[in-house]
Structure 1
Amino acid sequence: MKRRARKRTMHALSMGGSAMSDDLSRVLREAQEAASGSADNILETLASRVGVRAGAHAAFGEPVDREGVTVIPVAKVRFGFGGGSGHGIEKGADSNEIGEGSGGGGGAMTSPLGFIEIKDGRAEFKRTHDPVSAVPVILAAGFTAWLVLRALKRIVRG
């Protein structure tokens, strides 16, 4: 019986022909406005927090002076974030109950690239090499060599 009443309410909502559907439409509209407002707030908060950290100082470290040589660390900085919100009639609840939710998250990743060396009035960028970045290449080369040797063995065996 509860299920049948819920179906009628949904039908009345889609037809738009009863006082109950007008109330439900108003509640849905208010929920949409509230949900979109909180999504806007989330995005504004995320943007302001990321903006503070996304300046040039995130990629360039503090200069270090030693014996007439200035070194400025350089890094690659990546930021990513997302957010969303939603609303709707709660499952298993009375048809007049509206649920809503919103959330967001983000992250940052920094990888060293090298450094700028300033010496005798000249600046030069010197790249640093990350040995861990070579691991996938080494693994791929090893796997390829294994495939080639396996194919050659099959050809020789006939």
Structure 2
Amino acid sequence: MSSSDTPDQPVPQADAAAAALTVRLTEQLGSRASVTAVFGTPVTSDGITVIPVAEVAFGFAGGTGTGAGAAHTGGGGVGTRPRGYIEIKDGTAAYKPLRSPWVNVAIPLAAALAGTVAPLLVRRLAKHRPR
């Protein structure tokens, strides 16, 4: 059991500083990663409402030194990626995911490659087959 697990013992100054730093970073980053970052402002046109949807992730790290004049440092960041949108039309809501543009290239390319290579492999295997 560590000293921070025992409530009767005082918390070392470095642990208290690290805890304060963690709380401060969490508050600052948490305020930026709000619901409006995940679900954007709805847009309505011609009876259709579209609500953008994004993935939000945040992380942080901090550290404290030991000894006289030790520094307390920390940092963090927030990242978002669009994931799709919710379409509300005629009283029905449907989630529409956004696909990566590379999927539109990779799938046809993989199919063309498989269509070219497969007959070559079949011929080669048939040629080396014991009779």
> Do they superpose with TM above 0.5?
yes
Asked whether the 8 Å contact 2:55–2:81 carries over to 1, the reply is yes
Residue 105, structure 1, aligned to residue 75, structure 2: yes
What letter corresponds to residue 17 of structure 2 in structure 1?
S
Greater Rg by CA: 1
TM-score normalized with structure 2 length: 0.64
Normalized per residue, the structure richer in helix is 1
Residue 76, structure 1, aligned to residue 73, structure 2: no
**Secondary structure of the equivalent of 2:19?**
helix
**Secondary structure of the equivalent of 2:63?**
strand
Which runs of structure 2 are paired with 1:1-158 in the superposition (5 Å)?
33=13, 35-88=14-67, 98-132=68-102
Deviations 1:130-157 (A, max 9, x none): 225788998xxx9xx9xxxxxx9xxxxx
**Secondary structure of the equivalent of 2:24?**
helix
What letter corresponds to residue 42 of structure 1 in structure 2?
L
What letter corresponds to residue 75 of structure 2 in structure 1?
G
**Secondary structure of the equivalent of 1:87?**
coil
Deviations 1:114-140 (A, max 9, x none): 1000000000011111225788998xx
Root-mean-square deviation (CA, aligned residues, Å) is 2.9
Distance 1:132 1:36, change over 3 A: farther
TM-score normalized with structure 1 length: 0.54
Q: Percent identity?
A: 44
Provide the rounded CA distance (Å) in 2 between the counterparts of 1:99 and 1:53. 32
Query: Which sections of structure 1, spanning at least 5 residues, go unmatched?
Result: 1-31, 89-97, 146-151, 153-158
Paired residues, number: 102
What letter corresponds to residue 45 of structure 2 in structure 1?
R
